[in-house]
Amino acid sequence: MKDKKHCTIVQDLLPNYIENLTEKETNTFIEEHLKECDECKKVYELLTKEIKNENKSENKKDINYMKKYNTKIRTLKTIIIIIFTIFIILTGRKLIIIEKVKNLSNPYITSDNYYVKNNTYINSTLSKHEIFNKGHVRLVKYIYPDISGHLIHYYKDNVMNAYAQVNDQKIAILNTPIDMGNWLESNRLKSKNILEDIIMAIFTNITTEECNGKQCYRISNIPEFIDMDGPFYSILYIDKDTGLFIRTVRPAGEWATLQDGEFVKRREPDTIDDYEYKFNCVTEEQIQEPNVDEYEIHT
């Protein structure tokens, strides 16, 4: 006669036995009992089926979860690849434009005969200056419409003579040593290396617009940390034909301005400069130095 206590013990142990969680001695005890007890054997078979079905269900859930997870990962990878590809294409396009305008300006900045007209706008105030360059001589005229007067800088062989007239007073400061340099160099896009070009291409926005009757590249959102080897501009308009600046916008800051016949520093809003260029047109008459005898010499 079988012992009911043994059946109770075996049936309690069966789930663990099926999951291989019992010790060797316990396994031997259960297996010996199953050989002699049909009732416990049926319970064992039933539990085995249930556990297998549960495992299948669990596996199916895991498989479905992994499929969904893999699908999400593949979708995310595709989105990242698309975004990266668009970024590379847009940055590459801007880098090509940057290199193009730099190369376009090369033939012009080597010219030693050129005329530049510059209009500067600060709020409603307009100031003008004209640059006449012929060989190693340069004459720059500053005109201020709101006052009766002008300022002329005459450069020759890295020496500057300044001639100023305010109302009826004429003053000259002579023989100031100065590096004339190449004025046009400051009116084109410059960078020290390709890395700076790439940084500019990444952070700036470049569009095509018309400015002062010329088709231009408009470069905006220029970060302040980009070293342009000159004044910082927040917006540039660059001529598509020459690679030279047609318009520049400087952010608000302290600038030197003419006030009551003297240059003073003051806080100014955004400053807009418009430029017009002509080449191989400057004559000897246009670079004629003012008559020093008409001015009071100051040292």
pLDDT of residue 270: 78
> In terms of residue numbers, what domain contains 281?
112-188+244-298
Residue 138 covered by a domain: yes
By C-alpha distance, which of 37, 31, 38 is closest to 3? 37
We report the CATH number of the domain holding residue 120 as: 2.50.20
Mean pLDDT, to the nearest integer, of 76-99? 93
By C-alpha distance, which of 266, 240, 241 is closest to 253? 266
Residue 288 covered by a domain: yes
Residue 174 covered by a domain: yes
pLDDT of residue 1: 45
> Whole-angstrom Cα distance, residue 125 to residue 144?
9
> Could you report the per-residue pLDDT of 171-196, keeping only the tens digit for each?
999 999 988 888 888 888 887 788 88
What 3-state DSSP class applies to 7? helix
Residue 23 covered by a domain: no
pLDDT of residue 262: 63
> Could you report the per-residue pLDDT of 144-162, keeping only the tens digit for each?
766 667 889 999 989 999 9
Residue 271 covered by a domain: yes
By C-alpha distance, which of 187, 230, 210, 224 is closest to 101? 187
Token representation of residue 286? 């246009």
Mean pLDDT, to the nearest integer, of 158-167? 89
Residue 71 covered by a domain: no
Q: What's the total number of domains in the chain?
A: 1
Residue 68 covered by a domain: no
Residue 184 covered by a domain: yes
